[in-house]
Structure 1
């Protein structure tokens, strides 16, 4: 079993595309598309891998099982749950950028299982490249992660996934992937086979379809499995029940094919067992021995998901009740093991915890597309107590920016109590800043970073460690907001007059309600305004002409922007067609009363 790990946008999925194409997986008449494994709609739109996916290729009479894993730390649970199935990893690194924060994260996890890596230096078609520097950086990373001597003696293959070339020598590349395929066969150990003939496997992934029902996916650790065989399901070392395997599916290229038997080392999908969870052990009833439970890191960010209680509730979505929302969230936790859902004292509010803002925003986007309506609070970092000391998560961040933005960014890092570890000059008048920042300070910083760098900077981070909590208050927006005074339809005349007060979220003809946030105020205080009043009309003609109304294009609200924007006393209203901001208390009198009583959360 081979796993491909890498940082975001270093070419994992493109590399797997080439392996599938050049190994003869596709027949001549089949259409060859890019990013074959990113079959999820959101993956195609965003250009990132969200879910781990299995495939297999046949090369020189060897069956090579491969898993394409996400590169973003927010989807680390997808990496962690399949590590027990892996015999080796392909560590894909950009030929210029080298190892990045997420590279460190996924490599650290694979080293815990004593897996030996094969280093793949990708994007050799780039200009410039610095392969020697990249190799030294990878070696330093392995040393910092306490790699063994065997892991430090890693083979190196140079590739260009885009061009479909590879080689052991960067100056002598072949126009195919044969050197990489040969390296996989040479350096990947054979699956460990136990002398014990009793069947045993662990569930590492769940799927579902209307024909088969629940599908459990995992690697057979020992023994053989036959169709219609009776097996026992173990959870936390306790027997849950005994059931029968209805069918066995093996992965061949992009397809799943039925088979009568499977043996140790095979990755299979089984049906017939409905009450199963990730990490369950499936074994022979005569051999009730559970495998070690999969180690999954705990969530770092928490949000509250609430039933939509705005005046526009139910106008755009179909699934709006607390029962429908809770059922959908619980269904998500079955597959998404790094997500945690808890009910609160308020039956209309649920506490949802995940690995980061991106992890939760992907979930919210999926709910939108399934016709759900809901409101969510500002993301909050989860704090921990260690030795009676309150600690918070810190992240290692790498910022790649133009030199003319250096002063502003370094000043901002100082304001956020960040610690700069390294500052490196890059090509094309750019610099790279490596720093340590608390996760609290990063909420809201990403959007500000893009504004400072005018969209030219890149920002990557992953969890580094938990440390004593910083006393400074982070995450609250400096600017106030413009709040609608009444419910109705916004008109261009009023919006034009309000543009001097700040930037708008709405345009002419949009429906707004009392308490909805319609713009960002230029000053630090909130301002309640009227955006519904049109121009007063009379029967008197003016001697001159009326001034033309020029409306500035409103700010486009995305889920990521929304999660970074809101303050503690605000909510994000999410529907299939709209994303709106609103105050927790819609009436101005209620807001003044809550401020006086210092009351914020109605869901506590």
Structure 2
């Protein structure tokens, strides 16, 4: 069997997708004169804009008459659910590590999953052309990481390759060459052929594809037996139900696309068309002798947000999908392919609790829905609290910060204010490497304040560690907000007069409504202001006082920054054209009544 199945895993930005590009070029998937651009596998618009991989993808190349199925995986811990399930299709992993940064939190997370599945690792130390890189130290750190993760003797004996994905070379030593053939030879030599058991057909569905012509497509690795076109099969579901179905078409991966085939043998990865109502984790089995494979388990979500319909005065002006039925159907559809996501109904028919892995995980979902034409409101992210032995526990994360030495004091100060405890402090070249244990709550809103405090120099990464006892209150945002008094269009005249009260999120000439957050107050406490007043025109003119109004440009915040910014009584209105911050209760009198009632309850 001339097949190798490999997954490429690494921390975010260590060069996974660039390596896949080089493998595709080295194996002549494209014509020599074909312009393919960079990061070929990141085909989704959001992935291209953000420069990160969000969805895992398959490609297949042929090298020396051996077919190599390559799986590109995301590097962000928020998309860990995506990595966990696609590793089931692989027999070996290529672990990429940056020659300067060394093993990072996500390196540890994905490696732990790969070792637990018994996959054969190949270590690639990438970016050895960077200044200050330290490949030998990094190799020792990787070995130590393997050892700490209880790797077997066989896994500890991993082959190592060095090189630069950007410059297109990888070698088993630090000698620079002009191709990546040594790495491809290493994959063929060290990654075992797929393990195939004797017996009837078994194939687990580990990911989903979709085509507007063919509908939903099931993707997975054939574990044993042979799967054929027009074959009758049994679909075995997680709840124990067994459905009889017929396979219409079969495809295997070839280059960046798929090739139609009549049958697929055990060990290869294929796409199956014609199944209905299947979910990730279901087993395709022999109709006469059905046997299920163990269900895929994915780590639990750690954060929740309230998604509701848009109930602002501007409701329905920009979106196509605005009702709670549209919202519910879309969220339920997302849970089919996004295993780390959960959706629950609430007491209100207009809102749903959505559970995810982190701010970025939920932010990508909201951004995708916005581009599809949905209007919705989302509340403040909340961490999931558990009762363990009668005590309140919350999720903790390991936070890693690399920062120039002069800013390390500022970073330590910011993290300890949010109940973080320092575990490690060491010097890496000109940078200080700091590791903390911090409640997940403390991370919400930390990134923006840390970048401000370190002049944009801090590089931070974090991963979920465990549930530990509740740490008590954590200080949130210090400043209050300025709220619009009226529903009208803002004027430069009013904003100019209010500049000393706060920093604005809106420009002159924008439509705002009562209860919308239009600026950050310079003091604690909220203030209702009128930013829509026009200048009264009279016959009198005075030199000096009639200069044109000078409004500073508005502060632009990304969706994730908005999610980190809002407080418990605020929410974000998301429409295809705008992202607005607002109070959950728009009417000022109603807000006062609710806050008085809450204050009397507390008393």
Give the TM-score category using the shorter length: over 0.9
Please say if residues 317 and 371 of structure 1, whose CA atoms lie closer than 8 Å, have aligned partners that are also in contact: yes
The residue number in structure 2 matching 1:98 is 102
The residue number in structure 1 matching 2:531 is 531
Q: Give the C-alpha shift of residue 508 in structure 1.
A: 0.6
CA distance in 2, matches of 1:106, 1:229: 36
Partner secondary structure for residue 426 of structure 2? strand
CA distance in 1, matches of 2:428, 2:538: 64
Q: Give the C-alpha shift of residue 238 in structure 1.
A: 2.4
The residue number in structure 2 matching 1:289 is 291
The residue number in structure 2 matching 1:214 is 216
> After TM superposition, where is structure 1 displaced by more than 4 Å over at least 4 residues in a row?
none
The residue number in structure 1 matching 2:495 is 495
Q: Give the C-alpha shift of residue 388 in structure 1.
A: 2.3
* Aligned residue runs from structure 1 range 442-461, under 5 A: 442-461=443-462
CA distance in 2, matches of 1:167, 1:407: 40
The residue number in structure 2 matching 1:568 is 568
Work out whether 1:157 is the aligned partner of 2:156.
Answer: no
**Aligned CA distance change for structure 1 residues 156 and 374 (closer, same or farther; 3 Å):** same
The residue number in structure 2 matching 1:137 is 141
The residue number in structure 2 matching 1:110 is 114
Alignment length, in residue pairs?
596
* Aligned residue runs from structure 1 range 410-425, under 5 A: 410-425=412-427
The residue number in structure 1 matching 2:433 is 432
CA distance in 2, matches of 1:465, 1:143: 21
CA distance in 1, matches of 2:277, 2:117: 28
Partner secondary structure for residue 497 of structure 1? helix
CA distance in 1, matches of 2:141, 2:541: 75
The residue number in structure 2 matching 1:16 is 20
Which of 171, 174, 178 in structure 2 is aligned with 1:175?
A: 178
Partner secondary structure for residue 297 of structure 1? coil
Partner secondary structure for residue 82 of structure 1? helix
CA distance in 1, matches of 2:239, 2:556: 51
The residue number in structure 2 matching 1:481 is 481
Moved more, 414-423 or 306-315: 414-423
The residue number in structure 1 matching 2:515 is 515
Q: Give the C-alpha shift of residue 83 in structure 1.
A: 1.9
The residue number in structure 2 matching 1:5 is 9
Which of 61, 64, 72 in structure 2 is aligned with 1:60?
A: 64
TM-superposition CA deviations, 1:142-195 (whole Å, max 9, x none): 12211111111111011211111111111x232101110011011101111112
Moved more, 352-361 or 464-473: 464-473
Please say if residues 237 and 290 of structure 1, whose CA atoms lie closer than 8 Å, have aligned partners that are also in contact: no
CA distance in 2, matches of 1:356, 1:544: 52
Give unpaired runs (5+ residues) of structure 1.
none
Partner secondary structure for residue 174 of structure 1? coil
Work out whether 1:26 is the aligned partner of 2:27.
Answer: no
TM-superposition CA deviations, 1:463-512 (whole Å, max 9, x none): 111111111235x3111000111111111111011110111011110111
Please say if residues 120 and 192 of structure 2, whose CA atoms lie closer than 8 Å, have aligned partners that are also in contact: no
The residue number in structure 2 matching 1:540 is 540
CA distance in 1, matches of 2:411, 2:195: 50
Please say if residues 418 and 474 of structure 2, whose CA atoms lie closer than 8 Å, have aligned partners that are also in contact: no
The residue number in structure 2 matching 1:339 is 341
The residue number in structure 2 matching 1:323 is 325
Work out whether 1:249 is the aligned partner of 2:248.
Answer: no
Moved more, 120-129 or 532-541: 532-541
Partner secondary structure for residue 313 of structure 2? coil
Please say if residues 410 and 454 of structure 2, whose CA atoms lie closer than 8 Å, have aligned partners that are also in contact: no
Please say if residues 557 and 579 of structure 1, whose CA atoms lie closer than 8 Å, have aligned partners that are also in contact: no
Q: Give the C-alpha shift of residue 398 in structure 1.
A: 1.1
Q: Give the C-alpha shift of residue 39 in structure 1.
A: 0.7
TM-superposition CA deviations, 1:439-478 (whole Å, max 9, x none): 011011111111112222211111111111111235x311
Partner secondary structure for residue 519 of structure 2? strand
**Aligned CA distance change for structure 1 residues 443 and 543 (closer, same or farther; 3 Å):** closer
CA distance in 2, matches of 1:78, 1:302: 18
CA distance in 2, matches of 1:229, 1:29: 42
TM-superposition CA deviations, 1:241-288 (whole Å, max 9, x none): 111110100001101010011100010000111111100000111221
Q: Give the C-alpha shift of residue 319 in structure 1.
A: 0.8
Please say if residues 213 and 274 of structure 1, whose CA atoms lie closer than 8 Å, have aligned partners that are also in contact: no
